[in-house]
Amino acid sequence: MTQRPRAHPSPSGEPSRPPPYRLAAFLRGHSNDVRAVASSTSPSRLFTASRDGTARAWSRERGDGDKGGSWAEERVWRDGHEGYINAVSSVPADPSEPDQHGFLATAGTDSLIQLFSLAPDAPPTPTHTLLGHAHNVCALHCSTDGRTIASASWDGTARVWVRRERDGEGDEAWTCARVLVEHEAAVWDVMVLEGEQDAILTASADSRIRLFSGPDVRFVFKGHQGPVRALAKLLPGDPTSTLFASASNDGTIRVWDYRNGNALTVLGTHDSFIYSLATIPSSAGGGLASSGEDGIISVWNEEDGERDQEVLVPALSVWSLATLPNGDLACGCSDNMVWLFTRDPARAADEATQGEYDMRLAERRATRAPQQERPVVHEPAVLDEPGSSEGEVKLVKRDEIVVAHQWDGSKWGELGEVVQQAEAAGEDAAPAPPPPTKMQHEGKEYDYVFRIDVKDDEPPLELPYNLDDDPHATAAAFIARHALPDSYLEQIVDFIRASTA
C-alpha cells in the first residue's frame, strides 16, 4: 500500500510484520448499539455515540507514561437528539486560540448535527446546531485544524460546514459553505482531504466514490459492486501520499489514488458487509484495519497489503473503528460495548478483563454454530405488553399464520408474515425446521418465502430466503429490487433473523 519503500525494511527483504493486536480493555455504559467511535489528539481519550441516544467521552488514567492505566467514563451527553446517534467526531480547538477546548460533533436520525463544548465546565447541551440535511446523518469528518466539518446523509448529499471568525462580541458560528450533490443514492461516508484546497471525498450507496473540488466533481471512482460504506486516507503521516481506501457491502476493500483517479488494487475480502476502515499510524506498526458484519477486525499490512491478522470481537456487528494516536484500535459494536485492542504488551488487558472477553467470545461462537432451536412463537396477548427495547422482534400466532412484529419504542408494528410456520400454537411453539421439499419462488427452491407488508393498500411482497444466505445481502437485494427506502434494511434483517434463527 505504500508509494515508496519504507526507510527500514526487514533484514530478509520481506515486508515487516508488526506485533499482533491483543485485547486492551472494554468500555461498558451504552444501552444500545455503539454506532460510532472517534479518537482525539490524546491517546487517553475516546468518544462514542450510540443508538441509546447518548454520546460519551472516555478517558484512560495515566500510568507510566503511555503505559497502563484503566479506562473510565468521563462525560455523557443526553440532550440534543431525538432518535439514534449514528455519527461522532472530535472537533479540535483552533490552534490560534490555545484557551479553547474544541467541540464534540454528533449526528443521527433526526438529521441534526450538534456541537458540544469540550470545556471542562461546559454544560451538556449543544452550543451550535447545524441545520440543512433532510434525512439521517450517518458520518462526520473534521479537518485537523478544527475549522471544517464534512457530513454525509441519507438525503443523497454531503455538506461542508466552516467555522466563521469570531465577531466583536467573541461569538462564533458555523455555516454551510457547500452542498455536494450528484449522488444517486444515500451518502454513507465523507472525508476531508488535508492539504488539498476544498477537496472532499464521498462514498455513496450508488456504489461510487466521488472527489469534489469545491462544488464540482473532479473524479468518479468506479469498481465496487455494492454501496460504499467507508473511506480512509492511507499513510496519513506521509504528506506526499495521495492514496485512500474504500470499503463496500460487496465485501471488498479497494485502494485508489485521488491525484489521478486511478484504481490501484483490491485487498482481500470480508465474508460480509464492511462497515468501517481505520488507518494505523506508521509509528505504531502501520496498516489498515477494517470491520463489518462478520464480527472480525482485519488488519492489513502497510507494505504489501496482505492480511496480517484477524481480531475476533464478541459481537455480531462491528459498526465503527477508530485508531488512537498510539495505534490502539477501538471499535463500537452491536453488543453495546466498545472493545479496545493494542499491539503494546504494556497496555494489554489484565487477567480478569481477558477472562470476560474469552467468555463472551465463546458465547458468540456458540450462537454462530448451527442451532436446532427455533424462535418462540407467542400468543397475540404478548402485543399488549411493551417491548423490552427498541427494535425487538416477536413472532405472534394469528389464526393459522405466524406474523413478525417489531417494537418501535412506543408500539408494535407488523413486519410481515412468516410463510414457514409452527405446527403447534402456544408460547412454547416454534416454527418447524424447513421441510425436505423446499418452497418454490419464481421457479427456484428456497427454505423460506416470507411475505413483507410494505404498504397498507398494496399486497405483500415475497422475499425468498435460504438458511445459508446472508441476511443483510438478501435484505439489500430485496430493497434494491423493489426500490424501497434504505431505512427498511435493518427492519428486514431483524425480521429474517427472528424468523429463522
CATH of the domain at 392: 3.10.20.870
177 to 151, 163, 191, 465: CA distances (angstroms)? 12, 10, 15, 46
Statement to judge: residues 343 and 482 lie in one domain: no
CATH code for position 89: 2.130.10.10
List the chain pLDDT tens, one digit each, 501 residues: 644 333 334 555 566 789 999 999 999 999 999 999 999 988 889 999 999 999 999 999 865 555 567 999 999 999 999 989 999 999 998 777 656 789 999 999 999 999 999 999 999 999 999 999 999 999 999 999 999 999 999 999 999 999 987 655 556 789 999 999 999 999 999 999 988 889 999 999 999 999 999 999 999 999 999 899 999 999 888 888 999 999 998 889 999 999 999 999 998 788 888 999 999 999 999 999 999 988 999 999 988 889 999 999 999 889 999 999 999 999 999 999 999 999 999 999 999 999 999 999 888 877 665 443 455 677 787 787 777 666 677 888 777 677 887 777 677 888 777 654 333 333 333 333 444 457 777 778 888 888 887 765 677 788 888 887 888 888 888 887 887 777 678 778 878 876 775
Same domain, 310 and 201: yes
In this structure, the answer to whether residues 321 and 454 fall within a common structural domain is no
pLDDT of residue 468: 76
Radius of gyration (Cα) for the chain, nearest Å? 23
CA–CA separation, 190 and 180 (whole Å): 11
| Euclidean distance between CA atoms 455 and 350, whole angstroms | 53
Where is the domain boundary, 316, 337, 367?
367
> Are residues 192 and 229 located together in one domain of the fold?
yes
Give 79's Cβ-side CA count (13 Å radius). Answer: 9
- In degrees, to the nearest 5, what angle opens at C-alpha 227 toward C-alphas 223 and 229? 105
How far apart are the C-alpha atoms of 130 and 111, rounded to whole Å?
A: 9
| 133 to 178, 205, 293, 465: CA distances (angstroms) | 12, 17, 27, 35
- Is residue 372 situated within a structural domain? no
Question: How would you classify the pairing of strands 45-50 and 243-248?
Answer: unpaired
Beta bridge partners of 190: 202
Q: Do 414 and 459 sit in the same domain of this protein? A: yes
Asked whether residue 351 falls in the same domain as residue 382, the answer is no
Whether 52 is covered by a domain: the verdict is: yes
Claim to verify: residue 382 and residue 343 sit in the same structural domain: no
| 197 and 81 housed in the same domain | yes
Instruction: Looking at the structure, tell me whether residues 391 and 359 fall in a common domain.
Output: no
Domain boundary among 367, 391, 426: 367
Amino acid at site 175: T
Give me the domain span that covers residue 494: 377-500
Q: Are residues 344 and 437 in the same domain?
A: no
Question: What distance lies between CA 493 and its chain's CA centroid?
Answer: 16
Q: Are residues 213 and 128 in the same domain?
A: yes
CA dihedral sign of residues 331, 50, 160, 101: negative
**Signed CA dihedral, 119, 124, 127, 133: sign only:** positive
